[in-house]
Amino acid sequence: MKNRLRELRLLKGQLTQEELARRVGVSRQTIFAIEKGNYHPSVKLALKLARELDTRVEEIFHLEEND
Amino acid sequence: MDSRHMQWAFLEPAGLAVFAALGFWVHPGFWLGAVPALFFRAILREFGLLQDLDEREYLLSLRASHWAFILTLMLATAYVLVSPSIAADRTNQEIAILLFVPLAVRFFLQLGMTYSPRRAGTLIGLLFGTLWLLFAVLSHGISAGTLSEGAIGLIILGTALLSWFFPKPAGILFFLEALVAGYFVMKAGQLPSVRFILMLLFPLPLFLCGILLCLVHKEEGEITDAD
């Protein structure tokens, strides 16, 4: 699974990892892990991220060919 | 450590210090309390009373525990295998049997979490009854001993089969069987350590079946339940 979290976060007024983490109630390391593709968030966290970035989950995350 | 966790960080050291002090100055039995004190936050988390970790941190905590479980069992098994006194020392044999306890607990817990209480209770009963029957046949062969010992296995199997149709009455029957098994274990006159292991091996799975089956909700008790 690929994601555009970092890109969308920076588009949202240079939002920092720390600030996004605070808003969705996780640690900064978790945001970092998601951006690096090392952790796939739950549906609930994905929805929270989408809400904070004023977008839809599908805009942030998308499946790859072999998924 | 994340700053969000700092307010909880004192819990384990504080609990450990209290039980260590009590164990040192009052009674050694208090040392037993140090074990749950060490895992105080983890226990609170499992009951939903503490939410200090986000979902990724919680997953990592579970994975760390999983690996610790595997490594601990491997080390303990290796120690028992290479211990020179294993054949002569009865205590070591008891430790070897005790190694099965965490494996059994893990198996039963996973079963209970994967399936509904009704199905898990029935499965544990069927498994336990079958193992009992096999043990009776393998240890006595074709003899009167197999019949008398095997009859207990058949009773457990019968209760397990009954539980599929009537979970709550079968659960009560399992409780009674656990009580009877516990009575015979206590009456056997073994060393306390052996009795402790026998209690873990025999009455406990039956007691667990009883709890699971008594937890079954009315609608879940329908025969058509397919989970």
pLDDT of B69 > 90? The answer is: yes
Say whether B56 and A25 touch across the interface (CB within 8 A). no
Distance, in Å, from the CA atom of B192 to the CA atom of B178, rounded to the nearest integer, reads 19
**What pLDDT is attached to residue A53?**
95
Half-sphere exposure of B55 (CA within 13 A, CB side): 15
**What pLDDT is attached to residue B141?**
76
Q: In the predicted model, what is the mean pLDDT of chain A? A: 94
Q: Mean pLDDT across the stretch B39-65?
A: 89
* Local confidence band at B224 (pLDDT 50, 70, 90 cut-offs): very low
Calculate how close chain B gets to A9, using CA atoms only, in Å: 20
Alpha helices in A1-67 (DSSP H): 5-11, 17-24, 28-35, 43-52, 57-60
Query: Position A64: which residue type?
Result: E
Q: What share of chain B in percent tops pLDDT 90?
A: 22
**Chain B environment of A26 (Cβ under 8 Å):** 54-56
| DSSP string across B48-68 | TS---S-HHHHHHHHHHHHHH
Tokens at residue B206, please? 């039956």
pLDDT of B7 > 70? The answer is: no
Q: Mean pLDDT across the stretch B20-37?
A: 87
**What pLDDT is attached to residue B173?**
94
Say whether B55 and A29 touch across the interface (CB within 8 A). no
- Sign of the torsion angle spanned by Cα atoms B52, B56, B57, B60: positive
Task: State the ipTM, two decimals.
Answer: 0.89
Closest CA to B162 of B128, B126, B211, B130: B126
Q: Which of A40-54, B55-69, B166-180, B194-208 has the lowest average pLDDT? A: B194-208
Q: Mean pLDDT across the stretch B73-91?
A: 73
Calculate how close chain B gets to A55, using CA atoms only, in Å: 22
With contact defined as beta carbons under 8 Å apart, do A55 and A8 qualify? Answer: yes
With contact defined as beta carbons under 8 Å apart, do A35 and A5 qualify? Answer: yes
- Sign of the torsion angle spanned by Cα atoms B60, B65, B70, B74: positive
**Chain A environment of B58 (Cβ under 8 Å):** none
